[in-house]
Amino acid sequence: MTFPYLSALLFLPLCGAVVVALLGRRRSDAIRWTGLAASLAALGVAAVVFLRFASGTAGMQFEERAVWVPAAGISYHVGVDGISLPLVLLTAVIMPLALLSSWTSVTERVKEFTVSMLVLQTALLGTFLSLDLVLFYVFWDAVLVPMYFIIGLWGGSRRAYAAFKFILYTMAGSALMLVAIISLYLQSGPAGARSFDLLALRDVVVPMPLQAWLFGAFALAFAIKVPVWPLHTWLPDAHTEAPTAGSVVLAAVLLKMGTYGFLRFLLPLFPEATRQFAPLFAILAVIGILYGGAVSWAQSDMKRLVAMSSVSHLGFVTLGAFALTVEALQGSLLQMVNHGISTGGLFLLVGVLYDRTHSRLMADYGGVAALMPRFAVVATIIMLSSMALPGTNGFVGEFLILLGAFRVAPIYVVFAVGGVILSAVYLLWMYQRVMHGPVVVAARPRVVEITSRELLIFVPLILLIFGIGLYPAPLLQRSEASVRALLERVEARR
């Protein structure tokens, strides 16, 4: 019996949440440190999993399986492969940073906040690790409640509206997925021999009209989460109103649940339907890339700008997922991580400014670079990563996606490249208005250089930006075998 790494990873944050819940509510510092320690412990386990992960193996590793509800064919089955590993690691990296970022900005109900964040982490990790569809759904839906409270309780002025919109929108999408999960189970064999196990269900051939319906139900849930244009309308509100830590987790990790769902469930479970509908998703993705970019350009609120830019960036990820080539899929997977790092970073940058002036409007800023030189350097690096400049992580991901998609249909790439240009336009435009120009006098006394704690949050992000940008091999090597196996599966059933 080997050490259950994945269960340890999964439940460490939850145990942390229990400990925090037992601490006295006035002991804010003890609560913050406990929360951070729990998420760092999870990061440690995730790092061990990453290092001990065998590259070149397509199958599941670190698998654990236990009976959960035998009567209904549900089991506790977790495992990690090249597709889930990057996202597990991303979650583990982002969570401690998000907690650090709220160190001074969340001062009310610190205990509830920390508990919500830790529960959220367990739910997110569970989503990426589950290999049983019901277990997956449980974690998938369990993400909603803590996130709902994070937006609704610590968010901006329209937080209640944003929180309800977030949860109702995403629940409506996932409700039909539950029906589809059960229908898939019923297809898996005669009564008594059915299972919710993903690895078993991959081999079930669902007849066509039904397969398209089930594909649709899963795709709707995922597309809302990503979000794929035109299902993105919940996103600007949720991201803008959420507190910084909430926006970071939303952008960096929650949206990836959708794109991960494409790769983990849609492609292997419904290969015929995937091939049939791939062009539709590619077109929606390209529209999203351009639309998100254009709308970002029109924003006056920095947080809204970053939020809308996610629609554009996730468009690339979606395009990569449905291009169905090895390069594009690997790029898509890498770009999920990259977007987590760069957009998470952008939200953190806005959070730093917001903590000082309590304004998110670009008009209220100017000449910040003169007052906060160190901050300006950090901001430059993260923006360049988001623009996918060569040498940064974003370039590797977007390049692979465009390369892979070009092989299938150059026309998509012709339009998608417009998104790359747009991202340079809106980001540099924001940079110029906030960082350069005359110093806005009203804000001056409060705009002080970032503290060491704030800088500490950005250091790992900057290291990752250049690390992945210059040497992406450790990630790509680990994911390649799984991606190839996935594509073979999609192609095999013709």
Partner 1 sequence: MTPSVADLRALWPELIVAGAALVIMVWGTFMVQDRQSPLRWATTLALIAALSETLALGADARALFGGMYSRDAAALVLQTIALGGAVMAVWLSGDYVERTRLEAGEFYALVLVAALGTMVMAAGSDLIMIFLGLETLSIPLYVLAAYARDDLRSQEAGMKYFLLGAFSSVFFLYGIALIYGVTGSTSLVRLGAVAASDSIMLRIGIGLLLIGLAFKAAVVPFHAWAPDVYEGAPLPVTAYMSVIAKVGAFAALLRVFPGTLGAQTAQWAGALALLSILTMVLGNFAALLQTNLKRLLAYSSIAHTGFMMIGVAAGTRQGAWGVAFYLFAYTFMTLGAFAVLLMLERRGEEADQITDLTGLASRSPSLAAAMAVCMVSLAGLPPTAGFIAKFYVFAAALDAGQTALAVLGVLASVVSAYFYLRVAYTMFTGEPQGDVSFAGGRWVAAALAVAVIGVLALGVFPAPVTAFVQQLGQALR
- Report the interface residues with partner 1, using CB under 8 A: 25, 67-72, 109, 111-112, 134, 137-139, 141-142, 144-145, 148-149, 152-153, 160, 163-164, 167-168, 171-172, 175-176, 178-179, 182-183, 185-186
In order of 274, 283, 311, 402, 411, the CA distances from 396 in angstroms are 26, 22, 19, 10, 21
Which of 438, 419, 439 minimizes the C-alpha distance to 427?
419
When the beta carbons of 144 and 487 are compared against partner 1, the nearer one is 144
In order of 89, 341, 381, 396, 419, the CA distances from 469 in angstroms are 17, 12, 12, 6, 20
Q: How far is the CB of 30 from partner 1 (least distance, A)?
A: 16
Cα separation, 458 vs 114, whole angstroms: 21
Q: How far is the CB of 183 from partner 1 (least distance, A)?
A: 6
When the beta carbons of 72 and 463 are compared against partner 1, the nearer one is 72
When the beta carbons of 128 and 148 are compared against partner 1, the nearer one is 148
Q: How far is the CB of 461 from partner 1 (least distance, A)?
A: 31
CA angle 456/95/18 to nearest 5° reads 120
* Three-class DSSP category at 494: coil
| Positive or negative: CA dihedral 405, 406, 410, 415 | positive
When the beta carbons of 178 and 204 are compared against partner 1, the nearer one is 178
* Three-class DSSP category at 157: coil
When the beta carbons of 110 and 483 are compared against partner 1, the nearer one is 110
When the beta carbons of 160 and 411 are compared against partner 1, the nearer one is 160
Q: How far is the CB of 69 from partner 1 (least distance, A)?
A: 5
Q: How far is the CB of 187 from partner 1 (least distance, A)?
A: 10
Q: Which residues pair with 65 in a beta bridge?
A: 77
Q: How far is the CB of 47 from partner 1 (least distance, A)?
A: 27
Structure tokens, 37: 């320690």
- Write phi, then psi, for 130 (nearest 5 degrees): -65, 140
When the beta carbons of 186 and 463 are compared against partner 1, the nearer one is 186
Query: Could you tell me the maximum CA-CA distance found in the chain, to the nearest angstrom?
Result: 73
When the beta carbons of 138 and 290 are compared against partner 1, the nearer one is 138
When the beta carbons of 185 and 316 are compared against partner 1, the nearer one is 185
Q: How far is the CB of 210 from partner 1 (least distance, A)?
A: 10
In order of 20, 22, 72, 276, 478, the CA distances from 322 in angstroms are 42, 46, 33, 10, 21
Cα separation, 281 vs 297, whole angstroms: 24
Cα separation, 265 vs 267, whole angstroms: 6
- Within 10 angstroms of residue 298's Cβ, the number of other Cβ atoms is 10
Q: How far is the CB of 137 from partner 1 (least distance, A)?
A: 7
Q: How far is the CB of 172 from partner 1 (least distance, A)?
A: 5
| Positive or negative: CA dihedral 277, 279, 282, 286 | negative
Does 190 sit behind a cis peptide bond, omega within 30 degrees of 0 on the bond before it?
Answer: no
Element (H, E) at 427: helix 410-435
Structure tokens, 165: 């919109």
When the beta carbons of 145 and 294 are compared against partner 1, the nearer one is 145
Q: How far is the CB of 416 from partner 1 (least distance, A)?
A: 34
